[in-house]
């Protein structure tokens, strides 16, 4: 259990491109599955409906904290401080709703999508940096 917490919720160290992608994918699958558990509660009336709300809140908190942890460690691999996660997270947050709009809106949101592509594909520092050794 400590290994899972260290992989997904630690803000220390560096994270290479492939583990960043894989852990982000698994985090999305787990939080989506957790949110799906709440569906039977919301399909009932009365007191049962209220049991679904904490499950949805837990999945959203899990997704937010895990995502910021992965983004910060990926930024560390690029040699940037974790404070840059503010503008990276803002870019991702702006892009998400724009991606569902009409084509002109999606086109206007492409610079925000480029932030995510940059984070996923830009190589990290080759050697050790101030955040630790090169991830293996």
Q: Is residue 135 part of a domain?
A: no
Show the domain range for 32: 2-121
**What's the mean per-residue pLDDT of the chain?**
91
What is the pLDDT at residue 1?
65
Picking from 5, 9, 8, 16, the residue whose alpha carbon sits closest to that of residue 131 is 16
CB atoms closer than 10 angstroms to residue 80: 16
Cα separation of 116 and 54, whole Å? 29
What is the pLDDT at residue 4?
83
Q: Is residue 33 part of a domain?
A: yes
What is the value of pTM for the model shown?
A: 0.88
Q: Is residue 41 part of a domain?
A: yes
Q: Is residue 47 part of a domain?
A: yes
The number of domains in the chain is: 1
Model pLDDT for residues 67-81, shown as the tens digit of each residue: 999 999 999 999 999
- Sign of the CA dihedral running 105, 110, 112, 117: positive
**What is the helix, strand, coil percentage profile of the chain, to 5?**
75, 0, 25
pLDDT of 2 over the 70 cut? no
Model pLDDT for residues 53-112, shown as the tens digit of each residue: 999 999 999 999 999 999 999 999 999 998 999 999 888 889 889 989 999 999 998 998
Q: Is residue 128 part of a domain?
A: no
């Amino acid at each position: 259990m400590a290994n899972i917490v260290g992989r997904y919720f630690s803000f220390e160290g560096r994270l290479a491109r492939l583990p960043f992608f894989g852990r982000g994918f698994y985090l999305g699958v787990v939080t989506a599955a957790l949110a799906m558990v709440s569906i039977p509660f919301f399909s009932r009336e009365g007191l049962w409906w209220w049991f679904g709300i904490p499950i949805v809140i837990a999945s959203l908190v899990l997704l937010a904290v895990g995502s910021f942890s992965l983004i910060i460690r990926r930024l560390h691999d690029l040699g940037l401080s974790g404070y840059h996660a503010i503008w990276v997270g803002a870019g991702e947050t702006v892009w998400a709703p724009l991606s569902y709009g009409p084509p002109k809106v999606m086109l206007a949101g492409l610079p925000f999508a480029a932030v995510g592509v940059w984070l996923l594909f830009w190589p990290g520092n080759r050697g050790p940096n101030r955040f630790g050794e090169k991830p293996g």
